[in-house]
């Protein structure tokens, strides 16, 4: 049985299929939880599940990004942004920053991306969740008060989305 959908990723074509999967899957999570598609913040990441996969993807990443230009020391500016085309009603998106996550045995997901909301709207969303409003598929990130984000999740879906009030494009 294959536990992880794409892992171990072994070529750039497979990596881009994973990026597209993250894009479309996170947009589905967003629409189900928020009721509409939000614009992306510009960041997308792949979660590795094997040491060899991490080694390979960091070598690929080195060809794709400028390591002198980062966000939070983990998202690196892509030399050529990833442009993921629209599909159905899911909009096209441009990702300008990319990261590769070290293997984590507790993360089965393929990866994650960040969505953007204006500061006032984001604050209202966060406050409603803090006040115990139930938005199925959205929550304040558990045990991470240092991250000012709302997590989009579904235990049956192998991607994670995050909503914040910062753009990286």
Question: Please, are residues 101 and 61 in contact by the beta-carbon 8 Å criterion?
Answer: no
Predicted confidence (pLDDT) per residue in 119-158, tens digit:
999 999 999 998 888 899 999 987 787 888 999 999 999 9
Pairing status of strand 111-116 against strand 93-101 = unpaired
Q: Is pLDDT above 90 for 73?
A: no
Q: Within 10 A of 126 (CB to CB), how many other CB atoms are there?
A: 18
Whether pTM > 0.85 for this model: the answer is: yes
Residues recorded for the chain? 169
Which of 6-10, 78-82, 137-141, 165-169 has the least mean pLDDT?
A: 165-169
What is the per-residue pLDDT for 143? Answer: 79
pLDDT at 1 over 60: no
Strand (E) positions, the chain? 40-47, 65-71, 75-84, 93-101, 111-116, 138-140, 150-152, 159-164
pLDDT band of residue 2 (cuts 50, 70, 90) is low
CATH of domain 12-164: 3.10.180.10
Could you tell me the residue ranges of all domains in the chain? Answer: 12-164
Signed CA dihedral, 140, 143, 149, 152: sign only: negative
- pLDDT tens string 37-50: 999 999 999 999 99
């Amino acid at each position: 049985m294959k536990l992880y959908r794409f892992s171990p990723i072994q070529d750039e074509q497979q990596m881009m299929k994973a990026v597209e999967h993250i894009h479309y899957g996170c947009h589905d999570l967003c629409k189900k939880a928020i009721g509409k598609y939000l614009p992306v913040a510009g960041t997308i990441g792949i979660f590795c599940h094997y040491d060899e996969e991490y080694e390979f993807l960091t070598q690929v990443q080195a060809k794709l990004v400028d390591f002198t230009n980062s966000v939070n020391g983990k998202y690196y500016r892509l030399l050529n942004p990833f442009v993921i085309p629209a599909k159905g009603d899911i909009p096209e998106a441009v990702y300008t920053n990319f990261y590769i996550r070290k293997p984590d045995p507790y993360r089965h997901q393929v990866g994650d991306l960040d969505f953007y909301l204006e500061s006032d709207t984001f604050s209202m969303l966060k406050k409603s969740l803090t006040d115990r409003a139930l938005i199925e598929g959205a929550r304040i990130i558990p045990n991470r008060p240092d991250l000012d984000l709302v997590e989009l999740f579904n235990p049956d879906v192998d991607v994670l989305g995050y909503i914040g009030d910062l753009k990286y494009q």
